[in-house]
Amino acid sequence: MAMSGMRGLSVFISDIRNCQNKEQERLRVDKELGNIRTRFKNEKALTPYEKKKYVWKMLYIYMLGYDVDFGHMEAVSLISAPKYPEKQVGYIVTSSLLNENHDFLRLAINTVRNDIIGRNETFQCLALTMVGNIGGREFAESLAPDVQKLLISSSCRPLVRKKAALCLLRLYRKNPDVVNVDGWADRMAQLLDERDLGVLTSSMSLLVALVSNNHEAYWSCLPKCIKILERLARSQDIPQEYTYYGIPSPWLQVKTMRALQYFPTIEDPNARRSLFEVLQRILMGTDVVKNVNKNNASHAVLFEALALVMHLDAEKEMMSQCVALLGKFIAVREPNIRYLGLENMTRMLMVTDVQDIIKRHQAQIITSLKDPDISIRRRALDLLYGMCDVSNAKDIVEELLQYLSTAEFAMREELSLKAAILAEKFAPDLSWYVDVILQLIDKAGDFVSDDIWFRVVQFVTNNEDLQPYAAAKAREYLDKPAIHETMVKVSAYILGEFGHLLARRPGCSPKELFSIIHEKLPTVSTSTISILLSTYAKILMHSQPPDPELQNQIWAIFKKYESSIEVEIQQRAVEYFELSRKGAALMDILAEMPKFPERQSALIKKAEDTEVDTAEQSAIKLRAQQQSQTSNALVVTEQSHANGTPSVGQLSLVKMPSMSSHVDGNSADPRLSPENGTLTVVDSQPSSADLLGDLLGPLAIEGPPSINVHPQPSSNPGSDGTVVEATAIVPVGEQANSVQPIGNIAERFHALCVKDSGVLYEDPYIQIGIKAEWRGHQGHLVLFLGNKNTSPLVSVQALILPPMHLKMELSLVPDTIPPRAQVQCPLEVINLHPSRDVAVLDFSYKFGNDMVDVKLRLPAVLNKFLQPISVSAEEFFPQWRSLPGPPLKLQEVVRGVRPLPLLEMANLFNSYHLLVCPGLDPNPNNLVASTTFFSESTRAMLCLIRIETDPADRTQLRMTIASGDPTLTFELKEFVKEQLVSIPTTTRIPIQQTPTSPVAQPTSAPAALTDPGAMLAALL
Amino acid sequence: MHKLQCWIDKMGIRFVLMVNKQGQTRLAQYYEYLTLEERRTLEGEIVRKCLARNEHKCSFVEHRNYKIVYRRYASLFFLVGVDDGENELAILEFIHLLVETMDRHFGNVCELDIMFHLEKVHFMLEEMVVNGCIVETSKANILTPVQLLDKAS
């Protein structure tokens, strides 16, 4: 007997099952719907049993995908049935059929409330579950206090309380105000002392939501979470029912570790230690076993532990352990583990310092790009994209291009976009960039947007070296039999402009160029024909002396298109025809295009934008309604930021008169509006604003008086400049104090002095990472500005205060860092002459009402321009002797040295690129080191160092430094002294003072020069 | 950089589907409101995608803004849509827990049990998931209301 005795329902289900096709099914369903409708018309005659039966049929039909637009009232009315079976059906069917805004639901509010506050446990559960699933704002307002009471009531059994927890979660999402944070935080902490694992499981979900909105308030829950995790990990007091294949509730373990990831950090050393113990045990103790279920469950816990370790910024050793584990995973046979290994490795890229270890797995990741499973290929693609930088861009992009030839349609668009972005971001040279884009157009022209080929044209036009190469490449592609129309466009454009540079090559005479381009004309669309006409005019102009035959051919084409119905084509044809008969004037008018002004790549900008809101974007399609309902809290907070911050900028702009304010108003709008949700209004604005900016820029200078001209040309830096000035008057420190940096800034700086990548600065809103490559006297640094929040950081400004000896150029830093985005800002450094002065980055941004301004020393320090060099005894001594004494060779006795064993001192030297050459000095207490220093004034210059230590007193030593340049010798001596005397981690003089005046240098130098002589005498 | 922090308050499970290998829906439970049209489209797309995969492929499929975690038992596919960022293996085993729970109740559960006892499966799921969050993982506790109902009838 099926369906608890509902025979009619069973029959109906059997009928549906026996339907041969969709049409029969529809007929049967329609018949049934008609039947139910007539039954419901005479509702009073229905027994509760019959009602129940029909309501189930409705649900069944709805599940099959048919609309059920009646009978809702009957379903809702069952909620108030006195008996459990009917009531239960009422609740379940209501929450399946109705959405939270349904009017009938409001009618049930009282019944639901009565069930919740009533004495019947099972009724309580039903009501809490339904409200938990579909309760709306009204439910939140009228039921929240009752639900809270149940959740913490000691007289309530776990089965009710676990439902109350998730019910409260729903109500909280509908209206965050229903939970009074101050009062509730303590209750929440108490709740986590609960022993029942069902209550804990659901409370943990509630906690995640609460903490993610306001982690500060729930600080006291953090140690409780760690306790719960310890209890589970040690399997203490875990009932058999909650053990899954020998693992204490993997779901609760996962959820607890997830909750911990919503706290920004764990400061209490004890809590941190116990947590790391548990994590270490999970990392090390998870073995692969035969049973699939056990394996999955234990790896679910393991992957969550990995995520938590990453979040906690564990020590490098543990991080490397994690990467090693993931490296193992991405190579296993089990596809699930391979997929998750790749996914988590991508997340791991967010952690600084491990990128290099991840790069070691590049070959394996590339193999995954060829996996038969598209899910895995996607993960591999994301990972490769994320790990790409200047060092491996060539390899990775070439792999992507290769894969593009065989990739299925579903992946081609993403692939080509990613390849284009990487090529532009990390191109080691521009000819490579042109190569990549042309290949992309060739292989996947449909997915290469105009932005991309415009960019190629821009690069080629602006770089003369590139022009013959690009023209030759374009010419090569034209030989291919069937080429994409975009290829025709870009080739025609480039050959029109620069084809004459190829004139001496075979197949590249004006006539040959013309004919091979003209071959394509019959197959292309009108927009391309316009480009071709321009190309012909240019070819004509470049064919000197004029070739009458070619001239006639091209004139004939112009003549033909003079009557084109396309205005653009017609106009070009008429004008080019007339122009080409003017002889010399043609040369002027059709001369090479001027260089394009530099502007941000539209592609990269677009990529940055989409990276941020791909999730939201696709969500819009499907969940537009739901979003505003489920995550009210989130939307509200974001809006308040969006409304709050830029309006400041707007106000200041409004004061500006006429044109300039217009332009600014436009350019500010598109940024603002998407966040406010009025997408439609500004849809076409960004491009027109750009255009306006270009067109109106020069005009504004003639028009308004000078005061207005000043802020106009660059709206953002202008308005921000005033903000910065204002804060400069107010003591900077006080303002910045409201946001505390995470970690010790000085320590981070010193760590970066000896390594090339890591975190320079971090606070709750932003993380500034740095990655550097040093070659000779040049440095290529990249600042990674990562917005950690879901709201944008605005008024972002980065100013470099370079010392005299460094030439530094920071690329444009965007005014706004979009939510969760990371912006990369390259910084080029050139070392002009030796100096120990330090460059400072003055970085400021605004988040909400917090204006943060920090001054950070940049690790572009002297030792970065050193390259260790190994010197033999035969080389060393002649050099040493050839530098007789001051000012090229300086000696100093240094006291107060941090006592170090000789070996450690050697390591210290090596870490600063002063290569210790063992065996050169016969005295075992001495060290000899050599290095090459690079700067523009000194070029590569050998430096020799000798340290004589006193085994009886490790706190003093004598050092002698020699090089071919007096300033270098002095600076290097002082530098080495600093490293030996001070302990690198101590905080030094406030950085604002570091850019010392260059005058100070020579005066201090002679003083020091007199010093060693005296010291030497004393020692001898 | 710390993207991990930014899985802000997601629901977790967005829907649970049971579909047989002919693509017929045997159970559909959504934890977010979608119109019937949206459901039909979504189910069609997902079923097409997942059923085409063989057993050598992984159990996760990315679709729109969802991640589908799925598992096949004989003729029946269990498909769970979750937010990106959800722990996939935990969901995969949650599916198995659901199957084991049904097994404990029906004994050797099969597609027909689910078809003809749709209400019971709903009751079980209702005990396991509320508002997209896992609420109970003890089979005994999950089955209590169903047994209560059996006694009543």
pLDDT, tens digit (0-9, with 9 covering 90-100), for A795-843: 898 888 888 889 898 888 888 887 767 888 889 899 998 998 889 898 9
Question: DSSP character for A261?
Answer: T
Beta-carbon separation of B138 and A255 below 8 A: no
Q: Which of A860, A889, A921 marks a domain boundary?
A: A860
Average pLDDT value over all residues in chain A: 80
Residue A677: the pLDDT is 34
In chain A, whose CA is at the least distance from the CA of B61?
A: A375
Beta-carbon separation of A375 and B32 below 8 A: no
Q: Is A313 left (phi over 0), alpha (psi -120 to 50) or beta?
A: left
Residue A729 has pLDDT above 80, yes or no: no
Q: How many structural domains does chain A have?
A: 3
Q: Which of A598, A630, A660 marks a domain boundary?
A: A598
Q: Is residue A911 part of a domain?
A: yes
Which of A129, A134, A634 shows the shortest C-beta gap to B9? A634
DSSP H or E run through A947? strand A939-950
Least confident of A77-86, A723-732, B89-98: A723-732
A261-280: per-residue pLDDT in tens?
Answer: 999 888 899 999 999 999 99
Q: Is residue A345 part of a domain?
A: no
Q: How far is B78 from chain A (nearest CA, A)?
A: 15
A785: domain CATH number is 2.60.40.1230
Place of tokens 């394009």: A596
Looking at the structure, do residues A851 and A872 belong to the same domain, yes or no? Answer: no
Residue A708: the pLDDT is 34
Looking at the structure, do residues A873 and A776 belong to the same domain, yes or no? Answer: no
Residues A53 and A10: beta-carbon distance below 8 Å: no
Looking at the structure, do residues A813 and A898 belong to the same domain, yes or no? Answer: no
Q: Is A752 left (phi over 0), alpha (psi -120 to 50) or beta?
A: alpha
Q: Is residue A976 part of a domain?
A: yes
Question: DSSP character for A596?
Answer: P
Q: Which pLDDT band, with edges at 50, 70 and 90, does A790 fall under?
A: low
Q: Is residue A583 part of a domain?
A: yes
DSSP secondary structure, A130-189, as one string = HHHHH--HHHHHHHHHHHHHHHH-TTS-HHHHHHHHHHHHHHHHH-GGGS-HHHHHHHHH
A910: domain CATH number is 3.30.310.10
A838-876: per-residue pLDDT in tens?
Answer: 898 989 988 877 888 888 999 999 999 998 888 888 888
Range(s) of the domain holding residue A909: 863-989
Binding-site residue set of A: 7-8, 49, 53-57
Beta-carbon separation of A340 and B27 below 8 A: no
Beta-carbon separation of A254 and B87 below 8 A: yes
Please list the residues that pair with A429 across neighbouring strands: none
Q: Is residue A408 part of a domain?
A: no
DSSP secondary structure, B25-94, as one string = EEEEEESS---HHHHHHHHHHHHHHHHT--TTS-SEEEETTEEEEEEEETTEEEEEEEETTS-HHHHHHH
B interface test, pick of A4, A377, A610, A611 with most B CB neighbours within 10 Å: A4
Contacts of A207 in chain B (CB under 8 A): none
Looking at the structure, do residues A894 and A839 belong to the same domain, yes or no? Answer: no
A899-927: per-residue pLDDT in tens?
Answer: 888 888 888 888 888 988 887 888 888 88
Q: Which pLDDT band, with edges at 50, 70 and 90, does A107 fall under?
A: confident
Beta-carbon separation of B135 and A820 below 8 A: no
Q: How far is B66 from chain A (nearest CA, A)?
A: 9
Residue A955: the pLDDT is 84
In 3D space, the residue among A841, A838, A885 whose CA is nearest the CA of residue A864 turns out to be A838
Looking at the structure, do residues A748 and A733 belong to the same domain, yes or no? Answer: yes
How would you class A240 by CB atoms within 10 Å of its CB: exposed for 0-12, middle for 13-18, buried for 19 or more? exposed
Residue A149: the pLDDT is 93
Residue A306 has pLDDT above 70, yes or no: yes
Q: Which of A820, A842, A860 marks a domain boundary?
A: A860
Cα–Cα distance list, A523 to A518, A556, A559 (Å): 10, 19, 20
Q: Which pLDDT band, with edges at 50, 70 and 90, does A8 fall under?
A: confident
Residue B46 has pLDDT above 70, yes or no: yes
Residue A678 has pLDDT above 60, yes or no: no
Q: Is residue A481 part of a domain?
A: yes
Please list the residues that pair with A842 across neighbouring strands: A799, A855
Between A643 and B38, the higher pLDDT residue: B38
Residue A519 has pLDDT above 60, yes or no: yes
DSSP secondary structure, A848-905, as one string = TTEEEEEEEE-S--GGGGEEE----HHHHHHHHHHS-STTTEEEEEE-SPPP--HHHH
DSSP H or E run through A943? strand A939-950
Residue A997 has pLDDT above 80, yes or no: no
ipTM confidence score? 0.95
Residue A608: the pLDDT is 67
Contacts of B90 in chain A (CB under 8 A): 250-251, 254, 297, 300, 304
φ, ψ (nearest 5 deg) of residue A500: -65, -20
Residue A614 has pLDDT above 60, yes or no: no
A153-183: per-residue pLDDT in tens?
Answer: 989 999 999 999 999 999 998 888 888 877 8
Looking at the structure, do residues A833 and A801 belong to the same domain, yes or no? Answer: yes
Q: Is residue A264 part of a domain?
A: no
Looking at the structure, do residues A816 and A745 belong to the same domain, yes or no? Answer: yes
Q: Is residue A526 part of a domain?
A: yes
pLDDT mean over A7-14: 90
- Residue B135 three-state SS: coil
Query: How many residues are given for chain A?
Result: 1020
Please list the residues that pair with A303 across neighbouring strands: none
Q: How far is A819 from chain B (nearest CA, A)?
A: 10
Looking at the structure, do residues A873 and A749 belong to the same domain, yes or no? Answer: no
**For residue A545, cis peptide bond before it (omega within 30 degrees of 0):** yes
Looking at the structure, do residues A776 and A905 belong to the same domain, yes or no? Answer: no
Tokens for A17, please give them: 């099952």
DSSP secondary structure, A302-354, as one string = HHHHHHHHHHTT--HHHHHHHHHHHHHHTTSS-HHHHHHHHHHHHHHTTSTT-
pLDDT mean over A314-323: 87
Residue A688 has pLDDT above 50, yes or no: no
- Residue A429 three-state SS: coil
Residue A599: the pLDDT is 66
Looking at the structure, do residues A591 and A456 belong to the same domain, yes or no? Answer: yes
Residue A983: the pLDDT is 52
A525-561: per-residue pLDDT in tens?
Answer: 999 999 999 999 999 888 878 889 999 999 999 999 9
Residue A698 has pLDDT above 90, yes or no: no
A293-303: per-residue pLDDT in tens?
Answer: 999 999 999 99
Residue B53 has pLDDT above 90, yes or no: yes
Distance between CA atoms of A226 and A234, rounded to whole angstroms?
12
Contacts of B19 in chain A (CB under 8 A): none
Looking at the structure, do residues A883 and A916 belong to the same domain, yes or no? Answer: yes
Q: Which pLDDT band, with edges at 50, 70 and 90, does A396 fall under?
A: very high
Residue A61: the pLDDT is 94
pLDDT mean over A767-793: 85
Looking at the structure, do residues A796 and A894 belong to the same domain, yes or no? Answer: no
Residue A682 has pLDDT above 50, yes or no: no
Residue B59 has pLDDT above 80, yes or no: yes
- Residue A676 three-state SS: helix
- Residue A249 three-state SS: coil
Residue A491 has pLDDT above 90, yes or no: yes
Give the range with max mean pLDDT: A93-107, A307-321, B89-103.
Answer: B89-103
Q: Which pLDDT band, with edges at 50, 70 and 90, does A982 fall under?
A: low
